Structure 1
Amino acid sequence: MSTSPGRWSDLDRPPLRAEALRSALIRPGGLWTRLRVVETTGSTNADLAAAAAAGEAAPGEVLVAEEQTSGKGRLGRGWSAPARSGLFFSVLLDPGPEVPAERLPWLPLLAGVAVAGALSRAAGVDTALKWPNDVLVTVEGEERKLGGILAERTPTGAVVLGVGLNVSLRADELPVPGAGSLTLAGAAGTDRDPLLRAVLRSLDAWYTGWVAAGGDPATGGDPAVGPVRDAYAAGCATLGRAVRAELPGGGELRGTAVALDGEGRLVIQEADGARRPVGAGDIVHLRAT
């Protein structure tokens, strides 16, 4: 029998305690109705979307993976990390007719606010948001991507919201040089159970308040904090920065990120003063010259 350590044997990365998580998060009248933890899967977003399409998942379901082998990022990019090194989960949400379709782009921005705020409180690190859906931390004086959020519509109109966060990744495990983790950012704690509880409770508060306001980002949000639009603007590291927007299909736009419009798009002011909203694409923060 082999005595070599496997990917599940890292004592610094204990497994999530599924039953304790369910006890803490599932309550009558609450947003979360079911929570499952699987050892490994390709993509929690893909799995939860398939379950919803088959009628096997209802709104409020949470699917967590200890390891993702084919995690999904924006623009079709992959997302992978060592087993038990992060939080990789998806939730099924259905805002219903209360939220008009034109306000749904605020949902991943809302999730960014919820995640960043929860991690700041629970892990004791400063976080920021890069438009539209990246969570940033500072590692050795540099902005690093801690994680990201991906929202996908289902044929029934519900939304699968996926979150991937690097928790205990060490420097030699980073997938790309610009990545970071809570450990590398000097987090006070990296126990994934309380971190996941904090994130899901925060998402519950922000989402419930937003839906109750008909998805209006100017009024809906966490009652204890404020509206989604204000909270996102306050925590967004992109606003006020010189940026380059790499647009879908090619081409780019350079200027200063000056605002978010009513649909959550990033408004970029070009050198000639013209303002253009960007709804999709990669944003690169440029260094001041």
Structure 2
Amino acid sequence: MTSETPRRSGLRGFGHAGPSPWTDLDRPPLDAAGLRRDLVLPGGLWTSLDVVTETGSTNSDLAARAREGAAQGAVLVAEEQNAGRGRLERRWTAPARSGLFLSLLLRPDEVPVERYGWLPILVGVAAAGTLSRVAGTEVGLKWPNDLQTEIDGTERKLGGILTELSGGAVVAGLGINVSLRADELPVPAAASLALAGATVTDRATLLRALLRDFAVLYTEWTAAAGDPHASGLLPAYADRCTTLGREVRVQLPGDRELRGEAVAIDGDGRLVVRTPDGNRQPVGAGDVVHVRPEPH
């Protein structure tokens, strides 16, 4: 879900001159004070929550805070990003207030660094579960963590996740298309909750539920020192992963390609592909294409 845009920098709060955020009544602005009141609680995971009208990338902004020593639990939400980034250096753009664009600052000190790779999967499991339950639209995860839903029998991308290390912390970015209309989609393979027939598209409701659900899963995962089995994360991900059991084509680094059946997720979060000769090959990075079965 990408499109090229000129990069601008800096944050703009709600006091700047310009079009009113209420000009599109279908897309009201988020109430930062109300969100903080409900989510930033004593003893809870979330320690701060800021909403900005516009920024380049919430991940970049929160990564800068992490380098300055910001505490775990900071949440930064943007009503609009003009230089949002996805996996494989892809750009992510969407109209103002049409989705949830946020980043989380996490310091999982109880977890060995080699298990940090499970964090984007954890974000994906939380997001897919929340959207399926609250929005009433079944959401799955294409490996490793693309949020997918079906529209007219076709898999479409609803959102994506990007995690980065900064200042000893993990910054986890999440973008979800909520109210995009058909003529606003950046590519035909994109989707939004509204287009998928969601029963709830109120962003504040979705954001509250998402952050609460994530906090529960994250607490269980860190309590298990990041162990994907003991925390229940691996089976929860396997249940949501739309790639398992499918014929896939994986674009690997170095312009290589792997074809076969996606048969498992291993203990490191890698996709295990069984090739036509019966070998099982784990894939740690790559772009997966679900191959449609040949018609009989």
TM-score scaled by length of structure 1: 0.93
The Cα of 1:189 is off from its aligned counterpart by 1.4
What percent identity do the matched residue pairs reach?
Answer: 64
What is the identity, as a one-letter code, of the residue corresponding to 1:167? Answer: V
Distance (Å, rounded) in 2 between the aligned partners of 1:209 and 1:189: 28
CA contact (8 A) 1:62 1:90 kept: yes
Alignment-derived partner of residue 249 in structure 2:
244
Shift of 1:249: 2.2
- After TM superposition, the runs of 4+ consecutive aligned structure 1 residues lying more than 4 A away are 5-8
Q: Distance in 1 between matches of 2:177 and 2:163?
A: 18
Structure 2: runs of 5 or more not aligned: 1-18
Question: 2:285 aligns to what?
Answer: 280
Among 202, 213, 228, the residue aligned to 1:217: 228
Q: Partners in 2 of 1:120 and 1:153 — Cα distance? A: 29
Deviation (angstroms), 1:130: 0.4
> 1:180 aligned to 2:191?
yes
Q: Report the counterpart of residue 270 of structure 1 in structure 2.
A: 275
5+ unaligned residues in a row in structure 1: which ranges? 221-226
Pairwise CA RMSD: 1.3
- Structure 1 residue aligned with 2:130: 118
Q: Give distance in 1, aligned partners of 2:107 and 2:24.
A: 37
State the Cα distance separating 1:281 from its structure 2 match. Answer: 1.0
Quick check: 2:141–2:148 contact (8 Å CA) kept in 1?
yes
Is the deviation greater in 134-143 or in 204-213? Answer: 134-143
Q: Is 1:192 aligned to residue 206 of structure 2?
A: no
| Offset, 1:109 | 0.6
2:80 counterpart of 1:67: yes
Match of 1:224 in 2: none
TM-score of the superposed pair, with normalisation by structure 2 = 0.91
Separation in 1, partners of 2:254, 2:22: 41
Q: Give the total of aligned pairs.
A: 277
> 1:140: how far off?
1.7
Name the structure 2 match of 1:20: 34
Deviations 1:193-233 (A, max 9, x none): 0000011111101111000001011011xxxxxx1111100
One-letter code aligned to 1:229: L
